[in-house]
Amino acid sequence: MRPSTIGGGVALEPSEPEASAPSDRVLLAAAGRAAEPAFTEVLRRHSGVVYAVAFRQVGTVADAEELVQDAFVLLWTKRARLRFVGESALPWLIVTVKHLAANRRRALQRRQRHEAGDGALALAAVESPEVDDYLERAFARLPELDALVARLCLVEDLTYAEAAIRSGLTESAVRNRLSRTRGRLRRELAEERGMR
């Protein structure tokens, strides 16, 4: 394996298995005590190429490293159900890291859209003290859990994960409740402003 520099990090160029070395398919089928060293060999073979693809997708060392880790964790958890094209796991890993990068970009875009919408609510509150009163009334009309999630994420500025821990909900439940609540608050605020 030869190191090659990519961005600020170092990636290892692919290491071809020796002719007598077992294929990825065989290595990933290993069970018991042999499973971990076999998986380590697959990781050694392909981590450099997967990192290079990840880095091209996201452009930062930290994000690329995280995507590589996520791809290999998925490979480990799905190894018994994988369908290989040939004997190598590399095509699956490349497609997976590209999908993970696309998912990360979409999540970032959603978060930016939500934060922009929250900024509009915050700006409205700064522009008008009546909006503070409105928001208090609106939060009071929300179901208890929705109000809690809204306060945690919109007022206390917690992440979905932090709000999930504080509320006892799952992260996806927090995200879904907050999305519905944001929409409801925006509609109600627009109606309230239209009545004046």
Give 10-residue mean pLDDT values along the chain (196 residues). 47 55 90 92 94 93 93 91 86 94 84 61 54 76 90 82 90 90 80 66
- pTM listed for this prediction: 0.53
Q: What percentage of the chain reaches a pLDDT higher than 90? A: 40
pLDDT score at 53: 94
Contact residues for 89 (Cβ-Cβ < 8 A; gap 6+): 24, 25, 28, 42, 46, 75, 82
pLDDT of res. 3: 46
pLDDT at residue number 2: 45
Q: Are 41 and 103 in contact (CB under 8 A)?
A: no
Q: What is the pLDDT of residue 92?
A: 93
Say what the pLDDT of residue 115 is.
63
Q: How far apart, in whole angstroms, are the C-alpha atoms of residue 188 and residue 192?
A: 6
Q: Which domains does the chain have, with CATH numbers?
A: 3-104 (1.10.1740.10), 128-194 (1.10.10.10)
Mean pLDDT of the chain: 81
Tokens of 157: 């500025």
Q: What is the pLDDT of residue 4?
A: 46
